[in-house]
Structure 1
């Protein structure tokens, strides 16, 4: 007779024990889903071994600029800390030899050149620039000073942005009726406001300052002589001492440097310019432009708390304009900023310079600024 073994019945699990298992599994799943994804080795390779903050945090913050779809296209990014490159990355098709158009970052270079002219006694900050037809009796433009042009409060009728686009004074000057002699076109515009009373961002105003430099260096010179004189000055007085070997300017048919928007340099050279500003206009202890001039460039305009002299400041404004990240700080940060999201951001207190070059439409700029602010915040907070 065959003896059958009694069937083994599974022991019943008590409900509290079963619930504990489900809770544990859920917690593990939640932790797994919330944990950030691993950082690819090629991303970590763009970060120095000792960047001055948590290396992984910096890798994630810089990687976001290349991978997030809401930030446009980042073509180059460099982070300098304490004078050393601690992060450097390029998009496909770009490298450390690529020259990038600075757009309005070019204005800050013009600001330094004007400072050199003033330091040499060739120009006076509170005098009118040497534009002959402004000095005719009864011409109110003769009241415009170099200081006011630097601080974007000349009062000239220069509409930077307009709809449709071809009505913009900047477009007209660069591409339409002003393109052959941009300074003459910009200087011919009438006053819209009393000089000094209104902040109005103006690319044509910076072209007037570029023309002023040429008038001083090559008085009554031909177009070629004006261009050559300015190019020599730019190279000998700024590019070579700072180490910006790639710095190149474009000129119009009259020999005027298109200083409001058309200077080119590699990402590293734009970074060297930022470091030069961070050090108060000096390179390795040698003062290239007086330190007091860089202080002046960083001093708020009387008509715009977030703008100095051809440079943006990280300060809040009553208008609500947010070119930088004033709410995140730091208060001493400043930047050269260009069209389509070109940035050289300097945070002196953090010994930090950030270069971002690329193509970002205006509607995505707030998100881009916040992402750049995240990098600054890593250093400001010591993370």
Structure 2
């Protein structure tokens, strides 16, 4: 190799490895996420143009730790669905392939409606007035945990599909079950079902998120709405897939059409897309999932319980990951600080 070519390669590598110099506003915005008002932030990673430009961890945490997704798992599940839609194995506006619904009104529920949380199924996410009675908590921690999918699909319709928005983690379990039935038809053994799903995810997402681990119930169904774990950098990589039109590392993960679908507002909720939250206000909502009063309007994000975010802002070529444990009724300062951080980048 000629000397000039060698020098050019070394210079290119040096440029990739050299971190960008943060502005005082950017440093201050990162620090705000670790301030007492935003407690407890455990990890922040900022990537711009595919490059880490800021990274900080709370005491006791590092780049080696896996962090729980909570409901960010829904966006992982949606991505798996998108892969199968791209391959023509599933169709958004066909009836959802759930055999138990074939002989009643639930057969009208489509994949699109499940992804938009507008299935019309009777799912109770909040458990009013007793939180322990919610379908999600009973499935995750109590009497419905052995067969989460069975419990999720057994409920009746209470509204016409496609007419009402009703956020539900059990809906995402149904979608995970659809993925597993599609990639491993006829497989009922729990260990075999888990293996099929793990192999599929390793082949399709392993090069994006090598640390990713998702949990399963006793019947071998992935808990598609709640319990995936990955490093902060791998969560940033997941966001990068969507920032880059569905590509990562030179490979297509999902199609640009799927990226556009997940970030397009649902007919029943302008702040929700296809299992991703949008940086838009929802009229009448008690609070917003993101920070629409600060913008940018093109930001969208997986969002999880206790303040998990992977914000994706195409206009800034920016990913901001915030992971931690802040009670949901105290997330106001976190969202303000997160919006401030996003907006500190050009």
User: What TM-score comes out, normalization by structure 1 length?
Assistant: 0.83
Alpha-carbon distance between aligned partners in 2 of 1:116 and 1:292, rounded to the nearest angstrom: 11
Alpha-carbon distance between aligned partners in 1 of 2:137 and 2:31, rounded to the nearest angstrom: 34
1:126-145 per-residue CA deviation (whole Å, 9 max, x = no partner) reads 11222212002xx1111111
Does 2:182 align with 1:212? no
Q: How does 1:235-274 map to 2 (within 5 A)?
A: 235-240=202-207, 242=208, 244-274=209-239
- 1:314 touches 1:326 (CA, 8 Å); kept in 2? yes
Alpha-carbon distance between aligned partners in 1 of 2:342 and 2:253, rounded to the nearest angstrom: 27
Does 2:198 align with 1:228? no
1:204-244 per-residue CA deviation (whole Å, 9 max, x = no partner) reads 0000000011111222211111111011001101222x2x1
One of 312, 316, 319 as aligned partner of 2:277? 312
Does 2:52 align with 1:85? yes
Q: Give the match for residue 57 of structure 1.
A: 25
One of 93, 96, 112 as aligned partner of 2:63? 96
One of 72, 81, 95 as aligned partner of 1:128? 95
Q: Give the match for residue 136 of structure 2.
A: 170
Change (3 A) 1:229 1:340: same
Alpha-carbon distance between aligned partners in 2 of 1:377 and 1:237, rounded to the nearest angstrom: 32
Q: How does 1:10-25 map to 2 (within 5 A)?
A: none
Q: Give the match for residue 186 of structure 1.
A: 152
Report runs of 4+ in structure 1 exceeding 3 Å deviation: none
What 5-or-longer segments of structure 1 have no aligned partner? 1-47
Q: Which moved more, 1:280-289 or 1:209-218?
A: 280-289
Alpha-carbon distance between aligned partners in 1 of 2:226 and 2:180, rounded to the nearest angstrom: 17
> Larger Rg: 1 or 2?
1
Say which SS state the counterpart of residue 79 (structure 1) adopts. Answer: strand
1:115-156 per-residue CA deviation (whole Å, 9 max, x = no partner) reads 1111112111111222212002xx111111111000000011
1:320-369 per-residue CA deviation (whole Å, 9 max, x = no partner) reads 44111111111110011001000100111001100111000122112110
The total of aligned residue pairs comes to 326
Shift of 1:49: 5.4
Q: Give the match for residue 36 of structure 2.
A: 69
Q: Give the match for residue 361 of structure 1.
A: 327
Shift of 1:273: 0.3
Alpha-carbon distance between aligned partners in 2 of 1:217 and 1:283, rounded to the nearest angstrom: 22
Alpha-carbon distance between aligned partners in 2 of 1:285 and 1:295, rounded to the nearest angstrom: 19
Q: Give the match for residue 308 of structure 2.
A: 342
Shift of 1:157: 0.8
Alpha-carbon distance between aligned partners in 1 of 2:154 and 2:50, rounded to the nearest angstrom: 44
Does 2:317 align with 1:351? yes
